[in-house]
Structure 1
Amino acid sequence: MSMISYRQALHDALRSELLRDDQVFLIGEEIGHFEGSYKITAGLLSEFGPKRVRDTPIAEEGFTGAAIGAAMLGLRPVVEIMTINFSLLALDQIVNHAAKIYGMFGGQARVPLVIRTPGGGGQQLGATHSQNIELYYAFVPGMKVVAPSTPADAKALLLAAVRDDDPVLFLENLALYNTKGEVPDEDVPAEIGRAAVTRPGTDITVIGYSRMAAVALQVAEQLAETDGIDAEVIDLRSLRPLDRETIINSVRRTNCAVVVEDDWLSYGIGAEIAATVAEGAFDWLDAPVRRVAMSEVPLPYAKPLETAALPSAADVITAIRQTLAARGR
C-alpha cells in the first residue's frame, strides 16, 4: 500500500493501462504538452508519445465523436473533458451515439470508451464552471457513470472503466484531487455497480457519492465521538448501475436514512435514492428520508455566497439529528 493523492491515483491508473494494453490511448484538450489542466496526465506524453497521448483543438463534440469511432473499431480511448460543464458541447455524441450504438446495432458494435471529467463547486470558478450535472448521464440507459470519493477507489474504478466494453463517464470532484489515502500498489479493478459500506452502523444510514461521501464519513466519525450516534455510511461509487440492494438492506437495518449530494435537490440523484428507499424499505422506516443538497441557484462566484450555497458537514449533522429526533431519539 502507498499513501498517495487522488490525483496521483488517477495518473497511476492511466499509466498502468497504457502499459498494459496498446489499444488504450488518451485524447483531450491540453493533456499532452501542458500535461492536463489538473496535471493528471503529467509525463505521459514524453513516455508514450503523441500517438497515444493526443492533444486536440477546443472542440468537445469533435474529439468525443472521434473517440467513439475509434472505440467502435477496436481501440480503447480515454477522453479527458476539461470540466463536466464542457461535456454539454458533446452531449449529442455521448447520449445519442456512445450510449446507444450497442443497442441500435444489435450488439454488432461496442463502444469501450471512458470520459474522464471533473466537476463540483467550491473553487470560485463561477456558475458555468462549477456544476454537478452527472445526472444528465446517469439518466441515460447504455451509459455507466462512476464517482469515486477516495484515491483507492479512483484507481480501482478507473482501471475497471478502461477495461469495460461499455461507455463510462468517470466523474472526478475538483475538491478531491489533493486528498490522500492508502492505495494498493497492485492493479486490482473494482466492480462497477457495487457500493461500499465505508462505515458500518446501527442508528442511521447516510448515503452519498463523490465529495459528499467523504463528508458523510467525516460527519459519522465526529457524531460517534461527540454524540454516541452510530451511523452507517454508504459510498455509492457508481450512479449507473446503482447498487439498490446495498441501500435497501442498510436502511432495513437502521430504519432511517439521510441522502447527501453536491448537486441540486430537485430531480437529482438524491431523489432517486429516496425513491429506492421508499420502494424497498418503506415498512422499515421510522422517519422520513431527509436529503441534503446544494441550494437551487446558479452557483455564485463570491466565496461567502458560494460556500453558503454548497452543502456542508454542518448541514449533514443537522439532517441526521432531525431524522433521529423524528424517530424519538
Structure 2
Amino acid sequence: MEAVSNKANLEANIAKQKLSSNFLKKGIFIALFSGLMYGFYSAFLTLGMTKGIWGDWYGDNTAGLSALVITFLLGALGSAVNDICSAIWAIIYAAVKGKLGDFFRCLNTTPGRVMILAALIGGPISSTAYVVALKMAGSIVIPITALCPAIGAILARILFKQKLNKRMIIGIGICILSSVMIGSTGVGADAPEGMLIGLCIAFIAALGWGFEGCVAGYGTAMIDSEIGITIRQTTSGLSNLIILVPLFGIIFGDGIKFSTDLVAQAFTSGPAMFWFALSGLCAFLSYMCWYNGNSMCGAALGMACNGTFSFWGPFCCWIVLGVIAGMDGWALPPIVWFAALLMMFGILVIAMNPMELFKKKEVA
C-alpha cells in the first residue's frame, strides 16, 4: 500500500514539474513574441509615415512645412496616431474580456494613477523621441532604445536603492559597449546626415522608457496587467494628441489651429491609417505579450526575452521597408547586427544568470 502511495506521489510530482516546465516555456515564447511584435510595430509605423498625406509632408512637402515642424511636430503626431490606434485595440480587447468597467474604476486608484504617470513619461517623451529618431536615422536607433533595461536598473539603484550586483554591472557594461559600437557608425565623414543626432534622440527614448519601467513596476504589481496596458496606451495616445502636438504647433508652427489641421489630415488619410492601424495593433500585442510573458516566466527572464527587439526591430524594418516596400537605406552594416545580438546577451545578463537556463531542476 505504501509503495503504491509513493509511486502515486512520484507520478504527481513528475506531472507537476512537467506542467511547470510547459508553463515556463509558454511564458518565454510569449515574451519572445512581444519582441517580434515590437519590430513589426516599428516597421509598420515607419511605412505609414510614408503613405497618403505623410508622403506629401515628408516627400515633396507640398504643404510648405518647416524643417522643425517636419522633424518634431510630425514625429509627435505620428506617435500620437499610433498610440491612439493602439489604445483603441486595447479598449476593444478589454471590452471583449469584460474588463471595460474595471478599466474605468482603476483610473482613480493609486496604482491607476501610477500607470498614468508612467504613460506620461513613456508617451509624450519617449514615444515621440523614438519616432523622431526612426525618421532621422532609420532602424539603427532601435538597439539604442533597447538600452532601457540597463538604464532602468541604474535608475532603480539611484531612485529606489535597489541593489546592483556584479552580474548586473557586467550586463550594463555589455549594453554600453554595444551602444558604443552602434554609435560608431554615426560618426565620420561617411555617416549619413542626421544619424548622430538621431542616435542621441534615441537615447532620450531609452532614458524615458527606463524611468517608465521603474515607475510602472509598482502599478502593474497591483492591478490586472491587461487593465494596466489599456491605461498606459490610452494615456499615451491622448497626452500626445492633446498636450504635445498642440504645444509643438505653438512652438514650431502657427499655433494650435495649425496643429489641429495637421491632426485632421492625418486621421483622414486612408492609405496611411491602414498601416497605423497595423502598427497600433502590433504595439498593443507587444505590450500585452510582454506583461503576460513576465507573469508566466518571471519579470527578469521576460525582460530579457522582450529585449530581443534590439534585433527584431532592424530585421523587421529591413524586411518590410527594404525588401517588400523596396525603400532604400534600411540595410545595416554587420557591426550593427553583431552589436544588437550582443546587447540582447547584455540584457539577459542584467536580468538573470544565463547559466540558470541550462540547469536541470531536480524532482521534488
User: Shorter-chain TM-score: which interval?
Assistant: under 0.3
More helix by share: 2
More strand by share: 1
Normalised by the length of structure 1, the TM-score is 0.24
Q: Which has the higher contact order (CA 8 A, sep 6+)?
A: 2
Normalised by the length of structure 2, the TM-score is 0.23
